[in-house]
Chain A
Amino acid sequence: MNRRTMGKTLLGLAGAAAVALSVGTAAAQDKLKVGFVYVGPISDHGYSYQHDQGRLAVEKALGDKVATTYVENVPEGADAERVIEQLAASGHKLIFTTSFGFMNPTLKVAQRYPDVKFEHATGYKRAANVATYSARFYEGRTVVGAIAGKMTKSNVIGYVASFPIPEVVSGINAFTIALREQNPKAEVRVVWVNSWYDPGKETEAAMALIDQGADVIVQHTDSPAPIQTAQDRNLWSVGQSSDMTRFGPKSHLTAIVDDWNGYYIDRVKAVLDGSWKAVDTWGGFKDKMLFLAPYNPAIPADVVALADQIKADIMSGKRHSFQGPVKDQSGKVVIPEGKSATDEQILKMDWYVEGVQGKVPK
């Protein structure tokens, strides 16, 4: 091939690419473009993975009407605004920002793109075109607490926790209330690792708790390392965000699994038929925003029945995770008999209930 023909070939290729590109955009224009922003890698098999499962469910359900894009590993900071802006500028009409730290960047970009709809997970600031959504994960912790209360022999539960924010603290409390309802002698020991994801440190925390006598390890961090540690020591564990059974088949009692599939499909449909509104959604078991991973076959049938009953009662509204009387560590009744914690109380929770050792770090 001489230089001239090569030049021509290149020109031809460029022309073909340009045509392909314009066809691509034309096709995309007919479809609703939906963007997703994740804080972690979709391969984390935990939090971001579950959000991406939701995206895939949208593709599967509405694939002929939507085109989805995702950006993973987006740090919670100035970079997030750039990524969200990029999605908005490239024609995405609905954008899900899936981590708490994306709150302010989402609102800033939303102001500049009033015709784009935004959905921010786990936040509390809304606007005309910004909706918020989250799941009542504490409901899952209530069921898990009851199971742990029945399974523990040492009456010490080890809790590997990430950061002392209300979501995690309310989870510890919901767990402890249900635990002690089944087993008043049981206590919860909490170790904060100050990270969402550090397998080494999560293992060290689980080991420390086990050495102090814990025989059930519960976690509110994202890696399956605590499950592996518990499996190694022939003790029980509870998974977080996704089904972690394969990391400790003997140890894994169940896991509290996030499920965004139904919500994401509903919201995309709402945009498609024009009924979308900037509302706040905080759903639990009944809204199918979380579920429990398959129970370990080693759990006795009566405990499974108990767990299922508690779950059913939560779904029917017969039972609330923070149903009075709830006492704090000093024995003071914070939620009186006959009442349940308000959403506001749960969203601002910064105190431990009776039965948790230590103090909430301030």
Chain B
Amino acid sequence: MSAELSLIGPILAAMLAAATPLLFAALGELVVEKSGVLNLGVEGMMLVGAVCGFAVTVKTGSAPMGLLAAATAGAATAALFGLLTLGLLANQVATGLALTLFGVGLSALIGQAFVGIPLKGLPKLNIPGLTDLPVIGQALFGQDLLVYLAILAVPLVHLFLYRTRAGLVLRAVGENHAAAHALGYKVIRIRFLAVLFGGAMSGLGGAFLSMDYTPMWAENMTAGRGWIALALVVFATWKPLRVMLGAWLFGGVTIAQLHVQGLGVDVPSQLLSMLPYLATVLVLVLISRDVARTRLNAPACLGKLFHPDA
């Protein structure tokens, strides 16, 4: 039994890393949706961020420049979405889907010259004494910067949304854009900024994959993580802390099922592959089973078009 117990530490550490891209993308999308915009292009923005972060790191040799490029590229892709849906009032669902397809193609095009180039990952934290602690040492004190950054973003997003005036205005725009407009708030501008933030966070999530987790560029390397992030936002009923819980749960079950396979436990691997999705949805649905409260959390104007003259 002790052999199995000694796996808890590595599983915890791997869980936090596996959850990081989801956490970045989902937190970004949460802010976007709270402002009343539904951007289904997360997967595409992640890929564009992933390839740009990788390319700039290779060209400049500087990881901070790469991260900056990834966030900027994600935001630029999102700006295209903002222009179409907020400026030209295009349908958000259709535009978001198109953005994903566009992002897949664009990232493949940009990435052509960068396929097959290895990169060194980001350095990991190492505090003598603390990192070597049994069970929790590696998980808490042995990760790299982006993992901590993603976790730090959770309380920051929460505080911004619920403890600042700007956050209140953003939520008001998402709840009732006509009323917010009547009060004199710039609905379009606020939403556009939220969309840019969402894009930058998706870009960082993608960059974590291409610059750190598996430091290389490969077409379509996000492999559906953008869609999982989107689902997390809804199942977490638009609450940052629950998004984190969901991302950890998803990452944790993913890692645990791989360990179960390695230990040779006789459960079909196809069933185990399904488990992370099943467990995450189940737990988050159970937490948010109070329908009335869930409705309160859902932004009332989500996905609705707004035109100041209408």
Is B a genuine binding partner of A?
yes
CB <8 Å contact, B262 and A199 = no
Q: Does A234 contact B (CB under 8 A)?
A: no
Distance, CA A269 to CA B258, complexed state (A): 47
Q: Report Cα–Cα, A41/B219, bound state, in Å.
A: 8
A319 to B263, CA, bound (A): 32
Q: At the interface with chain A, which of B63-71, B94-102, B190-198, B210-218?
A: B210-218
Interface residues of B in 96-131 (CB under 8 A from A): 108, 111-112, 115-116, 118, 121
Pairwise interchain contact A223-B269, C-beta atoms closer than 8 A: no
- Say yes or no: A192 contacts B216, CB within 8 Å: no
Determine whether B60 belongs to the interface, using a CB cutoff of 8 Å to chain A.
Answer: no
> How many angstroms between the C-alpha atoms of A87 and B266 in the bound complex?
46
Q: Please state if B115 and A212 are interface contacts (CB–CB under 8 Å).
A: no
Give the interface centre of A202, A223, A228, A232 by most chain B CB atoms within 10 Å: A228
Return A225 CB to nearest CB of chain B, in Å.
4
- CB-defined interface of A170-199 with B at 8 Å, one 1/0 digit per residue? 000000000000000000011111110111
Say whether, besides A192-B269, A207-B14, A208-B259, A225 and B7 are in contact (CB < 8 Å).
no
A256 to chain B, nearest CB (A): 18
CA distance in complex: A212, B121 (Å): 23
B237 within 8 A of A: no
Q: Evaluate contact between B269 and A194: CB separation under 8 angstroms.
A: yes
Closest to A159 in B: B262
A232 touches B121 (CB 8 A): yes
Determine whether A201 belongs to the interface, using a CB cutoff of 8 Å to chain B. Answer: yes
Assess A225 versus B216: contact at CB under 8 Å? Given A208-B258, A211-B7, A247-B118: yes
Contact of B214 among A158, A203, A246, A359 (CB under 8 A): A203
Q: Does A317 contact B (CB under 8 A)?
A: no
Distance from B225 Cβ to chain A, minimum over Cβ atoms (Å): 7
B268 proximal to A (CB < 8 A) = yes
**How far apart are A258's CB and chain B's nearest CB, in angstroms?**
16
Bound-state CA distance A231–B182 (Å) is: 60
Partner of A208, one of B115, B223, B262: B262
| Distance A192 CA – B108 CA, assembled complex (angstroms) | 27
CA distance A204 to B255 in the complex (A): 7
Residue of B nearest to A358 (CB): B264
- B11 surroundings in chain A (CB, below 8 A): 211
Bound: A205/B262 CA distance, A: 9
Given contacts A45-B116, A208-B255, A232-B121, whether A223 and B264 have CB atoms under 8 Å apart is no
Q: Is the CB of B215 within 8 A of A191?
A: no
Interface flag for A200 (CB, 8 Å): yes
Q: Tell me which of A194, A248, A358, A362 has the highest count of chain B C-beta atoms within 10 A of its own C-beta.
A: A358
A205 interface neighbour in B10, B115, B118, B258, Cβ under 8 Å: B258
- Give the contacting residue for B14; candidates A43, A208, A359; CB below 8 A: A208
With A43-B112, A194-B269, A228-B214 already in contact, the answer to whether A200 and B225 are too (CB < 8 A) is: yes
B-chain residues with CB within 8 Å of residue A208 when the two chains form the complex: 10, 14, 255, 258-259, 261-262
B 10-51 binary contact with A (CB < 8 Å = 1; else 0) = 110010001001000000000000000000000000000000
- Whether B187 sits at the interface, judged by CB under 8 Å, is no
Whether, in the assembled complex, B254 has its beta carbon less than 8 Å from a beta carbon of chain A, the answer is: yes
Q: Check A110 for interface membership: any CB of B closer than 8 A.
A: no
Query: Provided the pairs A208-B14, A358-B264, A361-B268 are in contact, do residues A200 and B214 lie with their beta carbons within 8 angstroms?
Result: yes
Select which of B7, B116, B209, B262 is within 8 A of A189 by beta carbon: B262
Residues of B within 8 A of A212 (CB): 7, 259, 262-263
Q: Hey, which chain B residues are within 8 Å of A192, CB to CB?
A: 261, 269, 273
Distance in angstroms between the alpha carbons of A193 and B108 in the assembled complex: 24
Indicate whether A308 reaches chain B with its CB closer than 8 angstroms: no
Write out, one digit per residue, whether chain A residues 330-361 have a CB within 8 A of any chain B CB (1) or not (0): 00000000000000000000000000011101
Q: Which of B118, B216, B265 contacts A199 (CB 8 A)?
A: B216
Q: Which residues of A contact B115 (CB under 8 A)?
A: 43-45
**A164: which B residues are within 8 A, CB to CB?**
269
Binary CB contact string for chain B from 218 to 236 against chain A (1 if under 8 A, 0 otherwise)? 1111110100000000000
Cβ of B2 under 8 Å from chain A? no
Bound complex: CA of A205 vs CA of B108, how far in Å? 25
Residues of B that sit less than 8 Å from A by CB: 7, 10-11, 14, 18, 21, 108, 111-112, 115-116, 118, 121, 209, 213-216, 218-223, 225, 254-255, 258-259, 261-266, 268-270, 273
- In addition to A199-B218, A200-B213, 19 A-B residue pairs with Cβ atoms within 8 Å of each other are A44-B218, A164-B269, A189-B264, A190-B261, A191-B262, A199-B216, A199-B221, A200-B21, A200-B221, A200-B222, A202-B214, A204-B258, A207-B255, A208-B10, A212-B259, A212-B262, A212-B263, A214-B262, A359-B266
List 8 A-B pairs, minimum CB-CB distance, nearest first: A357-B264, A358-B264, A211-B10, A192-B269, A208-B258, A199-B214, A43-B115, A225-B214
